[in-house]
Amino acid sequence: MLYINNLNVELEDEKKKILNGVNLDINAGEVHAIMGPNGSGKSTLSYVLSGKDGYRVTEGSATFEGREILELSPDERASLGLFLAFQYPVEIPGVGNMTFLRTALNSQRKSRGVEELSAAEFLKIVREKAKKLKIDAEMLKRPVNVGFSGGEKKRNEILQMAMLEPKMCILDETDSGLDVDAMKLVAEGVNALRSKDRSFLVITHYQRLLDHIVPDVVHIMADGKIIKSGGADLALEVENNGYSDLLAEYN
Amino acid sequence: MPKTNLTEQKISSYSLPTEASWAIKSRKSALNWLETTGLPNRRDEYWKNTDPSYFNTIKKPERNKIDYVENSIFENIDRINIVFEDGYFNASKSDELLLKGIEIDTISVANQKDNHWSANYFGVLEKSSQVPVERTLASLNTAFAVEGLAIRITDKIDKPISITYLHSNDTSDVLIHHVIKIEKNASVTILESGGVASRSNCLMEVFVCENAEFDHVRVQGRSHEKIAVTHLFANLLKDSSMKSFTLTVNGKSIRNEYVVDINGENSKAHLGGAAVGDRGFSQDDTIFVSHNNPNCESRQVFKKVLRNGAKGVFQGKILVKDGAQKTDGYQISQGLMLDDDSSFLAKPELEIYADDVICSHGSTCGEIDNAALFYLTSRGIPMAEAQDMLVLAFLNDAIEEISDESIRTIIGSRLKDWMVKRHKS
């Protein structure tokens, strides 16, 4: 589904290299986790894949569903089925959460040539999905993420994911700032979306989240590249011993 | 300011009408002030950022292209419609003016009558608002305007009174003067819409009596060529309230002045404005709110979206006089620049002589939030549409100042339409 080949990326302004040849193959239905110390390039990878400004790809490629995506605009990538759940969801005063969600969903449908949803149809679906994530009507009415708690913001990300039904979901430290109950709720939301046609890339610092969202493959990232890959137990190893042993091995 | 040649030329391009003696007296007083004070010029403190020559010149204005095709933006609202065409009242296109709780005359009729109610009000607020800052374009209006309405409200009026200014494709240059009095316990909504004329100087004097309410929403025409100066003078007695919102889209030079005098306890004055302009656009809001009594509230919320070298000006003052304790004054002006060529010039002012008040003022000037833009596009919303959403969101605070929901929706969708058209053009 998503194939990343020798991806090299630097910051546009500073010419600072962040990714040093990332290789990653994610097949349909798989859940991959990326762990790694601060500054290893995990979030950059998620931003570059979803098309954020400020990065220059100096080498390598990323193909999604057979298409080279690095030249596409963020909205085109989203319409192809790529989704990034943000580590820090942005507050957008003045834009209603519902308006935002409906515009996003219908923009994607339009670009795929699918008929847009009417307000009533949309409302029915969004209410149903919001209920499962314990998002109340009041939260849906408020401006996007404005005044939301950390947990509410992350639940709102998962709601967007549930509404947009992407094929490839990238979760950037979705567990950060969540208490145990909130994390469970978010994980349940994610697990409910797991299917043979949908893949996940879960970026996290801690093994905790992976207790709830059990990955097929775990990658350790350091210094802008993947230094080790393994099964779910690799995450446990990191939890018990920290990154230092793995880094020593790599160096 | 010395009397200038320009002022003489301007004055000589008009003539005083023959009317009842009270009207002649008011007009002569305004004319006298104009003659001794002169028209505004760039050296005046409040004209540094807007070129007054557009308003001062006696040269015929350019033709406006867009306005005539515009019917009133409020046409789907149940309303009392009054139509002006190229600055002249048009009786055949207007609704019946005989209504319960409302007295309406044109000022050309009112000013002929020896004892018309408006005799004690015509030109009064304009005159009292000349100090400390001279507003001689308003004096010019009082001296020579023969079109306009004298509206007296004696009851709570549910239907808005909508004044539609149709403008045909000509070079009209008009003065319009409205006098509105809302009697004790009465209330009214006045809507204004349309291009008025190629160049217009519109003035509204509003007397809001005890426990009365005045709601005002104005949409200035869409033409890129229009030149307009407006003055809204309001006087509020105790327990009264006023709300005024103006939407300005496009134009060559538009200056909206507001002078609000709060002269009774427990009164509220809310002023709001949203302006959106492109190349060659210059829009100026100059506001003076005076708190003369305790326990009153005032708000100024003005937002401008500027691109392609457009200019926005905001000059807003809150004056809290000695004794006006517990005043709650708020003022915010914000410019959103869609490129590096545009400019937003703001002069927020507070002058406070009471010691127990809450007054805040803020002014910001910025660009589109890139993080928000990425967030929206990453969900599949195309860039242009995402930008529009953020522009509308920015203007939203000002639009929220409109109390009526259906009118708020109309204004919001007009802005949206305008933005979509812009992408297509």
Q: List CB contacts (< 8 A) between A86 and chain B.
A: 375
Supply A75's token pair. Answer: 């909205």
Work out the end-to-end distance of chain B between its first and last CA atoms, rounded to an integer number of angstroms: 45
Output the 3-class SS for chain B: CCCCHHHHHHHHCCCCCCCCHHHHHHHHHHHHHHHHHCCCCCCCHHHCCCCCHHHHCCCCCCCCCCHHHCCCCCCCCCCEEEEEECCEEECCCCCCCCECCEEEEEHHHHCCCCCCHHHHCCCHHHHHCCCCCCCHHHHHHHHHCCECEEEEECCECCCCEEEEEECCCCCCEEEEEEEEEECCCCEEEEEEEECCCCEEEEEEEEEECCCCEEEEEEEECCCCCCEEEEEEEEEECCCCEEEEEEEEECCCEEEEEEEEEECCCCCEEEEEEEEEECCCCEEEEEEEEEECCCCCEEEEEEEEEECCCCEEEEEEEEEECCCCCCCEEEEEEEEEECCCCCEEEEEEEEEECCCCCEEEEEEEEECCCHHHHHHHHCCCCCHHHHHHHHHHHHHHHHHCCCCCHHHHHHHHHHHHHHHHHHHHC
pLDDT digits (tens, 9 = 90+) for B148-187: 999 999 999 999 999 999 998 789 999 999 999 999 999 9
Question: CA B360 → CA B19, B345, B349, B357, B418, distances in Å?
Answer: 46, 19, 10, 10, 33
Token pair 């009471």 is found at B354
How much is the pLDDT for B1?
46
pLDDT tens, N- to C-terminus, chain B (425 residues): 444 589 999 999 999 999 999 999 999 999 999 999 999 999 999 999 999 999 999 998 888 877 666 678 999 999 999 999 999 999 999 998 888 999 999 999 999 999 999 999 999 999 999 999 999 999 999 999 999 999 999 999 999 999 999 998 789 999 999 999 999 999 999 999 998 999 999 999 999 999 999 999 999 988 888 999 999 999 999 999 999 999 999 899 999 999 999 999 999 999 999 999 988 899 999 999 999 999 999 999 999 999 999 999 999 999 999 999 999 999 999 999 999 999 999 999 999 999 999 999 999 999 999 999 999 999 999 999 999 999 999 999 899 999 999 999 999 988 888 777 766 65
Q: What is the pLDDT of residues B320-341, one digit of tens each?
A: 999 999 999 999 999 999 999 9
For B202-239, the pLDDT digits (tens) are 999 999 999 999 999 999 988 888 999 999 999 999 99
Q: Could you tell me whether strands B227-236 and B268-277 are parallel, antiparallel, or unpaired per DSSP bridges?
A: unpaired
Write the residue in B369, B378, B385 that is nearest to A51 by C-beta. Answer: B378
Residue B50 dihedral angles phi and psi, to the nearest 5°? -130, 130
Task: For residues A48 and B336, give the distance between their C-alpha atoms in angstroms, rounded to a whole number.
Answer: 28
Contacting residues of B for A84, CB less than 8 Å apart: 378
* Alpha-carbon span B244 to B218, nearest angstrom: 8
Q: Which amino acid is at B311?
A: K
Closest C-alpha to A28, from A158, A168, A160, A122? A168
The CB density around residue A121, as the number of other CB atoms within 10 Å, is: 12
Per-residue pLDDT at A178: 84
Chain A CB contacts of B375 under 8 Å are 86, 89-90, 92, 144
Chain B window 8-47: which residues touch A at a Cβ cutoff of 8 Å?
Answer: none
Neighbours of A127 (CB within 10 A): 12
| Chains A–B, number of C-beta pairs less than 8 Å apart | 83
A51 contacts B380? CB cut-off 8 A = no
pLDDT computed for residue B185 by the predictor = 98
Below-50 pLDDT ranges, chain A: none
For residue B378, give the nearest of A84, A111, A144 by CB distance: A84
The answer to whether B1 touches B33, Cβ cutoff 8 Å, is: no
**Are B374 and A94 inside 8 Å of each other by CB?**
no
- Among the partner-chain residues B374, B390, B396, the one whose CB lies closest to the CB of A74 is B374
Is A95 close to B390, i.e. CB distance below 8 A? yes
Contact A94 B396 (CB under 8 A): yes
Average pLDDT over chain B reads 94
Closest A-chain CA to B374: A52
What pLDDT sits at residue B69? 63
Q: Write down the pLDDT at residue B139.
A: 98
Tokens for B118, please give them.
């408006």
Put simply, whether B390 touches A (Cβ < 8 Å) is: yes
pLDDT at B132: 92
Do residues A69 and A82 lie in contact, with contact meaning Cβ atoms separated by under 8 Å? yes
Are A89 and B385 within 8 A, CB to CB? Answer: no
What pLDDT does B67 receive?
A: 66
Asked whether the beta carbons of residue B379 and residue A104 sit closer than 8 angstroms, the reply is yes
Extract the tokens encoding B338: 């869609």
Work out the minimum CA distance from A8 to partner chain B, whole angstroms. Answer: 22
Q: Which residue in chain B has the smallest CA separation from A111?
A: B380
Interface with B, mutate which of A80, A82, A95 (most B CBs under 10 A): A95
Q: Is A96 helix (H, G, I), strand (E, B) or coil?
A: strand
Q: Which residue of A has its CA nearest to B391?
A: A94
